[in-house]
Amino acid sequence: MILKVLLVLAVIGLVYFMFIKKKPLQHKNDIQKKKDDKLESNDMVACSTCGTYTELSETLISANKYYCSDECVDKA
């Protein structure tokens, strides 16, 4: 009898931990902070002159600003 009760409790506990218990949610600020810490090569940045979004790996950097082409660097 006790073995049956323990078995039922074990099954209930297993179902709880596998399906019902959820992982704690991360705060939106934490996620945004992690994203802002490091730019990756496939992140999109806006050109400082014309505002066109280009991949970080394809941008030109001049005076700590991002530009999409040599023409926009010359305009600035």
Tens of pLDDT, residues 11-54: 998 888 887 776 665 565 555 555 555 656 578 888 988 888 98
CA distances to 21, 55, 67, 69 from 43, rounded to whole Å, are 34, 6, 14, 17
Which pLDDT score, from 0 to 100, does residue 70 have? 86
